[in-house]
Amino acid sequence: MKNYDVVIIGGGSAGLAAALEVNKNGVKNILVIERDQELGGILLQCIHNGFGLKVFKEELTGPEYAERFVNMLKEEGIEFKLNSMVTKINKDKTVEYANSDEGFIQIQAKAIIITTGCYERNAGAISIPGNRPSGVLTAGTAQKYLNIDGYLVGKKVFILGSGDIGLIMARRMTLEGAEVIGVAEILPFSGGLQRNIVQCLEDYNIPLYLSHTVTEIIGKDKIEGIKVQKVDNFVPVPNTEMEFEVDALLLSVGLIPENGISEAAGIELHPRTKGPIVNESYQTNIEGVFACGNALHVHDLVDFVTTESRKAGEKAAKYVKGEYKDNVERINLVAKNGISYIVPQMVSSENVDKTIELFMRVTDVYKNVEFVIKQDGKELKRIKKKHLAPAEMEKVILTKSQIEGANKEITIEVEAL
Amino acid sequence: MYDVLIIGSGITGACISREMSKYQAKTIIIEKENDVAQKATLANSAIVHSGHDPIPGTLKAKFNILGNRMYKQMSEELDIPLMECGGLVVATTLEEEKTLDMLYARAFENGLKKSEVKLLTKDEVKEKEPNISDHVTKALSLPSTSVTYPLEAAIANIENAMNNGVELATNEEVISIVKNKEHFEVFTKRNKYEAKVVINASGINAENISKMIAKTNFTISPRKGEYYVLDKDVTLVNSVIYPTPSEKGKGVLVTPQYHGNTLLGPTSEFVENDTESTTKKGLDYIKVNIEKTVTNIPYNKIIRSFAGSRPTPSTKDFIIEESNIKGFINVAGIESPGLTAAPAIARYVVEGIVANNIDLVENKNFNPYRKKVIRMNELSDEEKNELYKRDSRFANIICRCESITEGEIIEAIHRNCGATTVTGVKNRVRAGAGRCQGGFCQPEVLKILARELKIDPMEVLYSKKDSAILKAKTKGE
C-alpha cells in the first residue's frame, strides 16, 4: 500500500488551496484526488467574472482563478490524480479510490482533508407536484451543459430559487439567446448575493418574484409550462396563479455539502451546515481527518473557500508534524437567536495563534442590529451591523485571550438596536 | 406470422414472454412506450406479497400464493434483486386487532404455511422495528413477504425471453385489431403484425385494447398511488410495514427497498388522465397517514416523489381468460398483488390457455439463466479488480452517489432489452438514482448514450419519446 502524509479528496478550489498550504508548511508527500478530467472543480464551469477580489485583488473568471492554483500546484510538483473517484475513507485513514488507469486502489494517509464540495438540492428533494417530464434541471447541471459541453437546455426558461447559480444562469442563458421569463423565490428575500440580483436580473429586466414558488409542472414527456403562485409563509395563496409556457425549469434551491463518504466513515455532521462538525483546526471528530470549503459549509465566495482551506491545510500539516494538540479542553461556539450556525463549532485556544475567524449565517434579513458575543453568558462585545441577510456569510474575529476567558461556551446572537 | 403476440411489456407481459420462450413458438412483445415496463410495473411498492390479504377463492389469492412460491427460483435464474425482509401488518385499535385475527385465519385459508404467519405482541413488534409507532398494539408477521426491484424483474424476464428467441418492439401503439379466418392482424401506428394468438397484457389500457375486438364485460380504472422516496442512508424499518387494510385497500405502507431507500406510500385515488402526476393533496395524505404506524420519519431525507396507476378492474379480481374471440386472451386488471402473481399467471396463461390454441413444442435450447448483471457495489475488491483487468471502464465511476461505473452503464445499454434513454440507464443501473438525482452524472451518462447508440447528443432522450434534454448547440464544430 502506498503511503502519503496528506491525502486531499477533491481538486476544486478548496482542495487546491489546502494542498498548496500543506506543501508550504513543509509537508511534501501529498496526493490530491480529483474525480473530473481536470483540476479546478466547479470553478471551471463558472466562466463569469467576480472571482478573486479578496485573494488576488483583481477580478477573474472561474477558470482563471482555478488556473492560478493549478499552475502553483504543478510548479510545486504536488502529485494529483484525475478521473479518480474516492469511494471510501476509513477511520485508520486508509483511502480507497478507483480510476481506469489503476483499478481499485487503497492508500494509507497520515491525514486526510475532505474537500468534496457540495451538490444541488433538486426537484426530488422539493417535491413539486406534477409529472416528471424532461426539462427540469438544476441550474448547475444546465451550467455544465452550457459552459463545458456547449448546449442550451432551453430557449424559454423559468428559474425557481434565487440562489447565485440560478441568477448567474439567468444572465448567461439570456446572453446565449434564450428568453428567461422570471425567477421565483419562496422566501420574501433573495437567496443570492445582492450584486448578482443587480447584475444578472435587473440589468436584463428579468423579474424576480419574491414570496412565490412553482406549484405545478405541466407536461408529460417534456415540460410545457409551469404554474407560479404567491405564498404566504410557504402556503400558496389562492387566486394568485400565473401560468408560463416554458421549455425548461432550472432549480437554484440550495446547495448541500457532499458528505457521502464522510458519513460512511463515521464523521459527525452538523444538522444546519450539513457538513462535518469541526474544531478550530478544521478537524472532524475523527483525528487526522479535516474538512474545508463547500464540503464543510456552503460559502458565497470562492475567496472565502480559499482562505478557509489554507487554514485547514496549515493545520493538517501541523498534525502530520506533531504540532497539533488534539487532547485539549475545548469550548463550544454556539449560535443563538438569529444565527443559523457558526463554523467551527468548537475551539481550543491552544491551537489558536493570535486570532480565529468564525464564519456564520443569520436566519433572516436584519437591518441595524448588533451581534452580541458572550462568554458563558457574560457579554464580551457587540458589533454593529447595518444589514444582514442569510445569503451573505458573516465573519467574527475572536482573539486567543477572548477564547481563554470562557470556560464552557461563547455564544453569538443578533439583537435589535 | 407470429404464433403469439403480447401487447404490453409490464411484469405480466414480461413473464408471459419468458414462459413462451420455453417453447418453439414465434413470439413478440409490442410496447407503446419507448422502453419496457413504464407504467404500473415502474411505479409500485415493489413487494412480493405473502398472500395473506386477497379474499379466499379469488384468482388474486390463488396466483398470489403460487407466484410468491416461484419468486425465489425466478430471481436466482434471472439475477433479479430479492430481499427476503418479511412483512408486518400492524393494528392500532381494537377494531383493527379484530381485522388482524380475521387476516390470520384468511392467510391459512389462502394456503400459507404455519411458519409463514404469526401474531406478535406490541413488545415483539417494537423489538423487531424500533421506529414503530406507539399506537401499534399488535401485528401479523408474514416472513414470506419479500421486496424485489419490479422494473428489473420485467427487464430480466424480457431479456431472457429475447435470448431464447422472443422479439421485442417498442414504440408500437396498437390502434386496431382484426381477426381474419385463422389469424389476427394487429395494426400499430407504424406497422401491421400478424399473429395466431394475441395476449392483451396492456395494464391500464387493457379495456380499450379488448374492446377493439372482443366482447368486453369489464372496465379498467386507473387508480393512482403516490409515493415519497427516502435517501438510502436512512434505515427506518427492517420489514414491510402494512397498516391494517380497510375497504379502501392496503393503505399507506412503509417499505424498505432493495437498494437501501425507503418508500412511503401509496395513496389510492381513481383518476381519469393524470395517471403519473404527484399532487400536493396526495403527498400530504402520505405524511398524515404514515404516522399512525411508523414514527421518526426523516422528511428532510426525501430525495424524490413519484406516482403510478394500478389497473383496477370492475370485477374486483384478475381477469385471465380467453375472450369470446378464440385466440384473443385478456390478462387484465392485474393490480396488486400482480407483481407477485405475474410468474404464476404467465405459466397458467401459456399452459392453460395458449396451449389450447396452438401446439406448444418444448424449446430444447431454452436457457433459464440470464447472464449475471455486474453490480460493482456488491463485489469484493478482488472481484472488482478482476473486472477492471478485463475492461478498465469498470473502474471509471460515473455516478458518484451510487458508485456506478461506465462499464455497468455500457452493459445496460448493450444487453438485450437495453437502455436507450437517460432514465432507462437510471432505472437499470441506478446511475442518477441517488441523492443528487443525476445533477453531476447526467451530462456524462448522456455522452455515453450518444457514443454507444451512435447518435448525436441532441438526440439523446431524457425518458419518453419527445424528451430530448439539449435544445440547441452554442459552440461550433
Which value, to the nearest 10 degrees, does the dihedral of the CA atoms of residues A145, A146, A151, A156 take? Answer: 110
The answer for residues whose C-beta is within 8 angstroms of residue B122's C-beta and 6 or more apart is B136, B137, B138
B361, part of any domain:
no
Note whether B396 contacts A83, CB cutoff 8 Å: yes
d(CA A335, CA A337): 7
Q: Which top CATH class is A328-417?
A: mainly beta
Q: What is the pTM of this model?
A: 0.95
Domain count, chain B: 2
Q: Is A393 on the interface with B (CB under 8 A)?
A: no
Q: Which top CATH class is A122-253?
A: alpha beta
The confidence score (pLDDT) of residue A125 equals 77
To which H or E segment does residue A417 belong? none
Of residues A100, A119, A130, nearest to B440 (C-beta):
A119
B245 and B380 inside one domain? no
Q: What is the complex's ipTM, to 2 decimals?
A: 0.95
Domain covering A1-120+255-327: architecture: 3-Layer(bba) Sandwich (3.50)
Instruction: Provide φ and ψ at B66, rounded to 5°.
Output: -60, -45
B121 and B250 inside one domain? yes
What SS3 class is residue A228?
strand
Note whether B471 contacts A125, CB cutoff 8 Å: no
β-partners of residue B468 are: B461
Of residues A127, A134, A248, nearest to B302 (C-beta):
A127
pLDDT, tens only, A347-392: 999 999 899 999 999 999 999 999 999 999 999 999 999 999 998 9
Can you give the three-state secondary structure of chain B, one letter per residue? CEEEEEECCCHHHHHHHHHHCCECCCEEEECCCCCCCCCCCCCCCCEECCCCCCCCCCHHHHHHHHHHHHHHHHHHHHCCCEECCCEEEEECCHHHHHHHHHHHHHHHHHCCCHHHCEEEEHHHHHHHCCCECCCCCEEEEECCCEEECHHHHHHHHHHHHHHCCCEEECCCCEEEEEECCCCEEEEECCCEEEEEEEEECCHHHHHHHHHCCCCCCCCEEEEEEEEEEECCCCCCCCCEEEECCECCECCCEEEECCCCCEEEECCCEECCCCCCCECHHHHHHHHHHHCCCECCCCHHHEEEEEEEEEEEECCCCCEEEECCCCCEEEEECCCCCHHHHHHHHHHHHHHHHHHHCCCCCECCCCCCCCCCCCCHHHCCHHHHHHHHHHCHHHHCEEECCCCEEHHHHHHHHHCCCCCCCHHHHHHHHCCCCCCCCCCCCHHHHHHHHHHHHCCCHHHCECCCCCCECCCEECCCC
Note whether B437 contacts A85, CB cutoff 8 Å: no
CB contacts of A248 in chain B (<8 Å) are 471
pLDDT, tens only, B294-307: 999 999 899 999 99
CB contacts of A145 in chain B (<8 Å) are 443, 469-470
The confidence score (pLDDT) of residue A126 equals 81
B283 and B134 inside one domain? yes
Note whether A151 contacts B458, CB cutoff 8 Å: yes
The confidence score (pLDDT) of residue B249 equals 78
Please identify every stretch of chain A with a pLDDT value under 50, giving residue numbers as ranges. Answer: none
B301 and B393 inside one domain? no
Of residues A100, A149, A215, nearest to B396 (C-beta):
A100
The confidence score (pLDDT) of residue B279 equals 92
Q: Is B131 on the interface with A (CB under 8 A)?
A: no
Domain ranges of chain A: 1-120+255-327, 122-253, 328-417
Residues of B numbered 256-285 whose beta carbons fall under 8 angstroms of chain A's beta carbons: which are they? 274, 276-280, 283
CB B146 within 8 A of CB B78: no
What SS3 class is residue A42?
helix
Residues of B numbered 418-477 whose beta carbons fall under 8 angstroms of chain A's beta carbons: which are they? 435-440, 442-443, 447, 457-458, 461-475
CA angle B450/B454/B455 to nearest 5° reads 60
Q: What positions of B carry a catalytic annotation?
A: 49
Give the range of the structural domain holding residue B387, as residue numbers without chain letter: 376-459
Note whether A131 contacts B277, CB cutoff 8 Å: yes
d(CA B439, CA B432): 8
- Closest chain B residue to A255 measured between Cα atoms? B436
Note whether B473 contacts A150, CB cutoff 8 Å: yes
B35, part of any domain:
no
pLDDT, tens only, A37-59: 999 999 999 999 999 999 999 99
pLDDT, tens only, A124-159: 778 788 888 999 999 999 999 999 999 999 999 999
B285, part of any domain:
yes
Q: Which among B263, B287, B310 is the end of a domain?
A: B310
Note whether B439 contacts A221, CB cutoff 8 Å: no
Note whether A151 contacts B439, CB cutoff 8 Å: no
B138 and B253 inside one domain? yes
- Give the pLDDT of chain B (477 residues) as one tens digit per residue: 999 999 999 999 999 999 999 999 999 999 999 999 999 999 999 999 999 999 999 999 999 999 999 999 999 999 999 999 999 999 999 999 999 999 999 999 999 999 999 999 999 999 999 999 999 999 999 999 999 999 999 999 999 999 999 999 999 999 999 999 889 999 999 999 999 999 999 999 999 999 999 999 999 999 999 999 999 989 999 999 999 998 777 899 999 999 999 999 999 999 998 899 999 999 999 999 999 999 999 998 999 999 999 999 999 999 999 999 999 999 999 999 999 999 999 999 999 999 999 999 999 999 999 999 999 999 999 999 999 999 999 999 999 999 999 999 999 999 999 999 999 999 999 999 988 999 999 999 999 999 999 999 999 999 999 999 999 999 664
The confidence score (pLDDT) of residue B476 equals 60
d(CA A254, CA A160): 11
The confidence score (pLDDT) of residue A405 equals 92
CB contacts of B468 in chain A (<8 Å) are 134, 222
Which value, to the nearest 10 degrees, does the dihedral of the CA atoms of residues B275, B276, B277, B278 take? Answer: 110
Q: What is the domain-level CATH number for residue B129?
A: 3.30.9.10
How many Cβ atoms are within 10 Å of B371's Cβ, its own excluded?
A: 14
CB A61 within 8 A of CB A48: yes
In terms of Cα–Cα distance, which of B6, B195, B160 is closest to B75?
Answer: B160
The one-letter code for the residue type at B203 is: G
Q: Is A199 on the interface with B (CB under 8 A)?
A: no
Q: Is B380 on the interface with A (CB under 8 A)?
A: no
The confidence score (pLDDT) of residue A327 equals 87
Q: One fold for both A122-253 and A328-417?
A: no
Whole-angstrom Cα Rg for chain A? 22
